[in-house]
Chains A and B, each alone.
Chain A
């Protein structure tokens, strides 16, 4: 049940640092929607009882949505897209999905986008009226292991089969030029490209996800620098990034629970917000100097979602 607005019915000022919430003080609000549902919400801002609580949404390119999952992946994707002001989905729209697909490993290693996240995204798209035959899941391998093997082991192929969606090895298709980059025709022909990287500590996963549809030679020599990434992102006419940050790898590649999803149109800003959420003290050079205060953060603020990984 979607709520349009929420009223603050309680606000408590909390002062005790804990492992889950080391930064104090903060507020916890009790919110009630028009259906009578009541839930707690962490906030850096004090509210008065009776005030309306608005999460807000924005279609601006510098906006990054952050949402701590409460129920399941579908709820997270619905909330992230809502915070980004939604995007029009018609039954005839062609949609290209780009997951992270880097290792032939089981989903529990979280090397690749989790099958649960892709499953929820496909369910969301079909609920919104998109036809399965118009959705393609794109990937390619940059090493000697075939992408089919990685997709099979990661569980992503099974999800594609469940929804009768085509998994495509873009290396076997055509590449065309866009703003000086040789990109998969499958991606450029799509009305909407949805990158669904999995977040990893110490990496810039949202930015790296775009390389999945860049021609192999260019991809291997691509310099992960701020300007180059910005330029590459602009080569995609209609790009949305939904980043899976529920179970993620820490710097030692051990999986930890973070429970957040991030979304936006600018991969660098998403990577920056993620690095701040996990309190990464050794950030990738491409994002290190980005001023977080210049990013319009929607949904949960960095301090509300932060957890040292």
Chain B
């Protein structure tokens, strides 16, 4: 994968860099790849007009193999990975995602990201992603009164501490103090700036091969849902996460406590907290207890977001899901240097959300 930051390269340059990194890691060349599955939402933004990306990738990699494009906004990376796992008749599939979404006008970047959500009922009433998550978390706080806004600060602090150790993260070697997190400006009350993930540019790639490798996928789940927040029966979580997690754990034939390390989709700190519950790591209403316990810190029993997560590594939309696979693979191989999870982790989980719970994938990876 590329470093996640504000580099102003076109999306295909990020795609190329990430693909070459993955090929090198797998000791393969483009000639060994018999299919590419790609995800991005950025090519029509930032003046990059060509939306016929398959032909551009064909030219970029000098190949005529099938190239399938599947956009699924923030969940694109997870969806293309899931698709590659379910493809038959291909030996080595290059799974790729890249974005150049962030340029110098934040209003335009935000507007592009908002294409992932409902416009007429929610956005026109000012209910953009931060406000949506803020209103949901307000309801959560009313229902589970033991939880406080300080619990979200603990999540932000954990992820920032991890990112400081990750050379691919935007916040690498940029420590953030708890006081700064708690005093950061309100974006949509009660959420502050440090409760929101960081929109960045970048790319990530994974090769799904039929040949045995050091890490295998033992569980895979994919579920979709309606995205109108208050139109859902239970909006204090994402049903699609619960469904995708159940599918993945059922296929993997393991229990929640068997997971040693996880990358969870922390688009907002509140989403990470709610996801602890949706993924089944704790019962409903107990998410705060998990972050307070320290069990999911880098030195805990099951570290969550050792990469720094979307929060502090950065969130280049479609590339996020594949960056999670990259991180868990590296963790299971023991290649993460300073941020390496202790005790030789054997099983890891990734959780990637598109839109407000509209498309969710959960994958479980195991060290061979």
Q: Using a CB–CB distance below 8 Å, which chain A residues touch chain B?
A: 9-22, 26-28, 30, 37-42, 49, 68-70, 259, 304
Q: Is the CB of B230 within 8 A of A70?
A: no
- State whether A17 and B107 are in contact (beta carbons under 8 Å apart), knowing that A12-B134, A28-B125 are contacts in the complex: yes
Q: Is the CB of A18 within 8 A of B188?
A: no
Residues of B within 8 A of A14 (CB): 126, 128, 130-131, 187-189
Residues of B within 8 A of A17 (CB): 107
CA A42 to CA B186, docked complex, whole Å: 17
Q: Is the CB of A16 within 8 A of B125?
A: no
Residues of A within 8 A of B130 (CB): 14, 16
B108 touches A (CB below 8 Å):
yes
Q: Is the CB of B122 within 8 A of A40?
A: yes
Contact of A40 among B121, B186, B189 (CB under 8 A): B121
CA A17 to CA B188, docked complex, whole Å: 11
B13 touches A (CB below 8 Å):
no
Q: Is the CB of A9 within 8 A of B123?
A: no
Proximity bits, B213-233, A CB within 8 Å = 1, else 0: 000000000000000011000
CA A26 to CA B187, docked complex, whole Å: 11
Residues of A within 8 A of B135 (CB): 10, 12, 28, 30, 40
**Distance to closest chain B CB from A23 (angstroms):** 10
Q: Is the CB of A70 within 8 A of B121?
A: yes
Q: Is the CB of B127 within 8 A of A18?
A: no
CA A12 to CA B126, docked complex, whole Å: 10
Q: Which of A18, A22, A69 has the most CB of B within 10 A?
A: A18
Considering the complex, which residues of chain B in the window 151-191 have a beta carbon less than 8 Å from any beta carbon of chain A? 185-190
Q: Is the CB of B114 within 8 A of A40?
A: no
CA A49 to CA B108, docked complex, whole Å: 33
Residues of A within 8 A of B142 (CB): 49
Proximity bits, B73-115, A CB within 8 Å = 1, else 0: 0000000000000000000000000000000000110110010
6 A-B Cβ contacts within 8 A? A14-B188, A15-B185, A18-B110, A19-B110, A20-B111, A259-B124
Q: Is the CB of B139 within 8 A of A30?
A: yes
Q: Is the CB of A19 within 8 A of B108?
A: yes
Q: Is the CB of B188 within 8 A of A28?
A: yes
Q: Is the CB of A30 within 8 A of B108?
A: no
Residues of B within 8 A of A19 (CB): 107-108, 110-111
Contact of A13 among B110, B114, B188, B229 (CB under 8 A): B188
The 8 A-B residue pairs whose C-beta atoms are closest, nearest first, are A38-B230, A42-B126, A40-B127, A13-B189, A12-B134, A40-B125, A28-B126, A10-B138
Identify the closest chain B residue to A13 (Cβ).
Answer: B189
Identify the closest chain B residue to A38 (Cβ).
Answer: B230
Residues of A within 8 A of B122 (CB): 40
Q: Which of A13, A17, A26, A28 has the most CB of B within 10 A?
A: A28
Considering the complex, which residues of chain B in the window 19-62 have a beta carbon less than 8 Å from any beta carbon of chain A? none
- State whether A18 and B131 are in contact (beta carbons under 8 Å apart), knowing that A12-B138, A42-B126, A70-B121 are contacts in the complex: no
Residues of B within 8 A of A12 (CB): 131, 134-135, 138, 188-190
CA A28 to CA B121, docked complex, whole Å: 12
Identify the closest chain B residue to A68 (Cβ).
Answer: B124
Contact of A42 among B114, B125, B187 (CB under 8 A): B125
Q: Is the CB of A16 within 8 A of B187?
A: yes
CA A283 to CA B347, docked complex, whole Å: 65
Residues of B within 8 A of A13 (CB): 186, 188-189
CA A30 to CA B236, docked complex, whole Å: 14
Proximity bits, B185-213, A CB within 8 Å = 1, else 0: 11111100000000000000000000000
Q: Is the CB of A26 within 8 A of B188?
A: no
Q: Is the CB of A30 within 8 A of B138?
A: yes
CA A49 to CA B127, docked complex, whole Å: 17
Identify the closest chain B residue to A25 (Cβ).
Answer: B186
Q: Is the CB of B230 within 8 A of A40?
A: yes
CA A304 to CA B188, docked complex, whole Å: 16
**Distance to closest chain A CB from B17 (angstroms):** 31
Identify the closest chain A residue to B229 (Cβ).
Answer: A40
CA A175 to CA B281, docked complex, whole Å: 78
Identify the closest chain A residue to B235 (Cβ).
Answer: A38
CA A41 to CA B123, docked complex, whole Å: 10
Contact of A28 among B114, B120, B131, B139 (CB under 8 A): B131
Residues of B within 8 A of A22 (CB): 107
Q: Which of B123, B131, B135 has the most CB of A within 10 A?
A: B131
Proximity bits, B295-333, A CB within 8 Å = 1, else 0: 000000000000000000000000000000000000000
CA A68 to CA B119, docked complex, whole Å: 12
**Distance to closest chain A CB from B89 (angstroms):** 44
Identify the closest chain A residue to B112 (Cβ).
Answer: A19
Q: Is the CB of B128 within 8 A of A16?
A: yes
**Distance to closest chain A CB from B31 (angstroms):** 45
**Distance to closest chain B CB from A307 (angstroms):** 9
Contact of A20 among B121, B123, B188, B190 (CB under 8 A): B123
Residues of A within 8 A of B126 (CB): 14, 20-21, 26-28, 40, 42, 304
CA A14 to CA B142, docked complex, whole Å: 20
Residues of B within 8 A of A42 (CB): 124-126
**Distance to closest chain B CB from A22 (angstroms):** 8
CA A39 to CA B139, docked complex, whole Å: 13
CA A39 to CA B125, docked complex, whole Å: 9
CA A68 to CA B121, docked complex, whole Å: 9
**Distance to closest chain B CB from A218 (angstroms):** 41
CA A30 to CA B134, docked complex, whole Å: 11
- State whether A16 and B120 are in contact (beta carbons under 8 Å apart), knowing that A30-B135, A40-B125 are contacts in the complex: no
CA A67 to CA B142, docked complex, whole Å: 31
Residues of A within 8 A of B138 (CB): 10-12, 30, 49
**Distance to closest chain A CB from B5 (angstroms):** 21
**Distance to closest chain B CB from A178 (angstroms):** 40
Q: Is the CB of A18 within 8 A of B124?
A: no
CA A41 to CA B134, docked complex, whole Å: 14
**Distance to closest chain A CB from B127 (angstroms):** 4
CA A12 to CA B114, docked complex, whole Å: 18
